[in-house]
Structure 1
Amino acid sequence: VPDNAPWNYNFMGVKHDPLMKYSMKLGTPRDFYHEDHRPTHFLEFSNIEEGEVAEGDREDTFS
């Protein structure tokens, strides 16, 4: 498994680089849907909990 980084970049496409350097260690990989693999999902969840309005629910001030 990677030494200090998530192994699943499926949810972080722009962070993936085919030439990125990483080190490996023996261990059990994290689950595919582990929160370390999808930090933006959890940031969106925390914004919802704080009462932030969803993008589609905002009033259009230019209309």
Structure 2
Amino acid sequence: MDVKSAFLYGKIEEEVYVYQPPGFEDPDFPDKVYKVEKALYGLHQTPRAWYETLSTYLMDNGFHIG
């Protein structure tokens, strides 16, 4: 696992949508938004998603909460 981008491995539970970034708008659909499926830097949900991913992995591999 790439620790430098670890936050991007979490899966978020809530529905989050983002606008098209300036300069990358689809000319056929300028008002289109995108649903975020995975954690994204800057989202408030990202640290929690990473914690859930990491803790599940550790528990599945014999670690205990203590």
TM-score (norm 2): 0.34
Which structure's residues are more often strand, by fraction?
2
Task: Point out the structure with max Rg over C-alpha.
Answer: 1
Considering Cα pairs closer than 8 Å and 6+ residues apart, tell me whether 1 or 2 has the greater RCO.
2
TM-score (norm 1): 0.35
